[in-house]
Homo-oligomer: A and B are copies of this chain.
Amino acid sequence: MNKLTKYCYGICLLISIAINILLSIYLFLGGGEKNDEISYRPPLTWSKKAAMEAEAVAAISCSGHGRAFLDSSISNGHPVCECNGCYGGTDCSELSPECAADANSGDPVYLEPFWIQNAADTAVVISGWHRMSYDYVDNTMMSIELENHIRQLHSVAGNAVTEGRYMVFGVGSSQLLSAAVYALSSETASSPSKVLASAPFYSIYKDQTVFFNSENFQFEGDANSWESSDFTNNMDVVEFVTSPNNPDGELKKSVLGGKTIYDHAYYWPEFTPIPGPSDEDLMIFTLSKLTGHAGTRFGWAIIKDKNVYEKVLKYIYLADMGISKDTQLRVLKILKVANQEDGKPFFEFAYNKMRERWERLTSVFSKSTRFSIQQRHPLHCNFFHETRLPSPAYAWVKCEREEDDDCGAVLKARKIIGSSGITFSAEARYTRLSLIKSQDDFELLLQRLTELVSHENGCIEKM
């Protein structure tokens, strides 16, 4: 009995001490999560408060139909849920039944789930003293680390030649479109350079050129309305080519073969097969359509000619002295993850999302004779090593009936909001529907389209 008690004491003591040792080791290792990049593991100090705030906000449930952010407005001491379209209530649980499906904007939120899955690798802590200076240590306004990762991503995706090319960052591609027009239009010309794009085209090309109203250039409309033969060598044109095209997803080439700005916002494996690397004189890309971070205004231009490069650089400097250092740091984090495993996890996730949406969309339109969408032509994709159909960011819908000459109005009457063809200098018979918004938005769009087609076929079938 006595022996037994002593024995028991001994065992308990040993177990207890063992637990102490284990707990101490766990504490010393800072919680024991895996960590590949940090060589030592002191407990967190100044960054902990911000980390806890971020995790507390991320933990707020908005019923899967919305999200709270660190800078959401505050109610009862907590950030409020910001609900997806057609959802409401404090926790976004209420769907308004008669709400219209808004497929107007090109908000690329469809990739949000990927970044949530990769939370640990894409989070970034920005200290209060992070890069207060105008310049980086090399006296430029662009992060060389970021530039290197962008070049790496292009070689991974195989969509652009970057070797021996200059690169300039811009506040989204929007700013670079305007910078490129300034760089390519000749200041000395007696008459302003003619800026053109072949319809249907992204309206900002016209809107910017008209608004800035420079003596250097003038918007002249649809490139197709001009014959190459109209242009002599000394005629001064700047042509915008969007490839794949917004709105219809076509891989386009210059019509006039003069000075050209290639807007490659959508030239990534999730939207189009990549037949090969683009090797144009001036190519513009944007984070917005690549990773879905439209709120992070960041784009870049890849430029062959040194003089053009220097003019674009000067534009960016005079316009706003470069891109926020915090933005560049965040983009670096995001692209490091996009580059992982030669881009496979990221581009496969994005492509599969788009392909699935297109499969569901085409099955709906296949039942319709009143409405059609653009033809998609299979191409070999060097990234996925297979021949496949494109999966464009937008459906370019045509109303086939003679009387439906305002397609936007026809759709709107059925609670579907798109962008009229007129916005793209095309006919009102066409409407653009965005396919890259949130899953909620897409599901509602598909529901309204199904109702539309069912109605066309006589049976009002409610989903």
Report A's interface with B, CB cutoff 8 A.
2, 5-6, 9-10, 12-13, 16-17, 19-20, 23-24, 26-27, 30-31, 33, 35, 37-56, 58-59, 67, 69-74, 77-78, 82-83, 105, 107-109, 111-112, 115-116, 118-137, 143-146, 170-172, 174-175, 178, 182, 187, 204, 207-208, 211-216, 288, 292-298, 314-315, 318-330, 332-334, 337
Contact = CB atoms under 8 A, between A and B. Distances in A.
B26 A27 contact: yes
Given A171-B319, A295-B326, 7 more contacts: A47-B55, A47-B125, A50-B123, A50-B333, A122-B129, A170-B320, A171-B171
Given A9-B6, A327-B327, A178 B319 contact: yes
A40 to B, nearest CB: 7
B46 A55 contact: yes
A288 B133 CA distance: 9
Contact of A126 (B37, B207, B330): B330
A143 to B, nearest CB: 5
A119 B125 contact: no
A129 B145 contact: no
A359 B146 CA distance: 42
Contact of A70 (B67, B124, B172, B182): B124
Contact of A133 (B26, B42, B56, B295): B295
Nearest to A209: B318
8 contacts: A6-B9, A23-B23, A44-B44, A47-B55, A49-B123, A105-B134, A131-B295, A212-B214
B112 A132 contact: yes
Contacts of A214: 212-215
A47 B56 contact: no
A403 B20 CA distance: 80
Nearest to A52: B38
B51 A125 contact: yes
B31 A328 contact: no
A173 B175 CA distance: 16
A224 B41 CA distance: 63
B143 A128 contact: no
Contacts of A35: 48-49, 52
A37 to B, nearest CB: 6
B124 A174 contact: no
A397 B136 CA distance: 28
Nearest to A115: B128
Given A38-B53, A211-B314, A71 B145 contact: yes
A24 to B, nearest CB: 7
Given A134-B294, A332-B71, A119 B124 contact: no
B53 A51 contact: no
A403 B222 CA distance: 62
Nearest to A58: B127
A27 B143 CA distance: 39
A133 to B, nearest CB: 5
A176 to B, nearest CB: 9
A114 to B, nearest CB: 8
B137 A71 contact: no
A39 B77 CA distance: 9
Contacts of A297: 320-324
A52 B59 CA distance: 21
Contact of A40 (B56, B77, B211): B56
Contacts of A320: 170-172, 174-175, 297
A324 B324 contact: yes
Most chain B CB inside 10 Å of its own CB: which residue of A120, A208, A213: A213
Contact of A125 (B78, B108, B123, B211): B123
A47 B126 CA distance: 12
B123 A47 contact: yes
Contacts of A170: 320
